[in-house]
Amino acid sequence: MTRRRVLFVCTHNSARSQMAEGLLRHQAGDRFETASAGTEATRVHPLAIRAMDELGIDIRSHASKTLDRFLAERWDFVVTVCDRASERCPVFPGGATRLHWSFEDPSAATGDEEQRLAVFRRVRDQIAARLRDGFGEAHAAGLQAPPLP
């Protein structure tokens, strides 16, 4: 069985794309190969790590990466998870299906640490729900991305 390859793209590859990568890897096991990248690289946000820890998903070993290192690879799906990355995302060779899922930037949350963590949790849960839809738009288009458990 050939695993579908999914690349999640965000601006800084610090929160949304990192959480999406961790969630898909956790939810789909060996059915998908997944990675994440940013139009710029920074660091994995500590509150993204905490939010994922709450689900038993460890993303501490993840590193922020730039998109250019993935351009020559074949991807089945390239999913932008923020509007800015969607605007700057290049065309991927090899016929990747490009999807855009717009999520709020939890790194921009204000307030004390608990208030900011609550935003990370909300965005994490929105990403998880979107993944459970099984790449809904692609599936509806007949691209056969199976729904996740």
| Single-letter residue type at 52 | M
**Residue 105 token pair:** 């930037």
Name the residue ranges covered by the structural domains of the chain: 4-140
Residue-wise pLDDT for 27-82, tens only, equals 887 888 999 999 899 999 999 999 999 999 999 999 999 988 998 898 989 999 98
Check residue 31 and give its pLDDT: 82
pLDDT beyond 90 at 90 = no
The phi-psi region of residue 29 (left if phi > 0; otherwise alpha if psi is between -120 and 50; otherwise beta) is: left
Out of 12-16, 116-120, 132-136, pick the least confident.
132-136
Q: What would the DSSP string read from start to end of 116-134?
A: HHHHHHHHHHHHHHHHHTT
Residues assigned a catalytic role? 10, 82, 89
State the burial class of residue 41 (Cβ atoms within 10 Å of its Cβ: 0-12, 13-18, 19+): middle
Where would I find the beta strands (DSSP E) of the chain? 4-10, 32-38, 77-80, 97-100
Rounded to whole angstroms, how far apart are CA atoms 6 and 35?
A: 7
| Full strand arrangement of the beta sheet holding 77-80 | 32-38, 4-10, 77-80, 97-100
**Region 4-140: CATH code:** 3.40.50.2300
**How much of the chain exceeds pLDDT 70, in percent?**
85
Distance of CA 43 to the CA centre of its chain: 15
* The overall pTM is greater than 0.85: yes
Residue-wise pLDDT for 25-36, tens only, equals 998 878 889 999
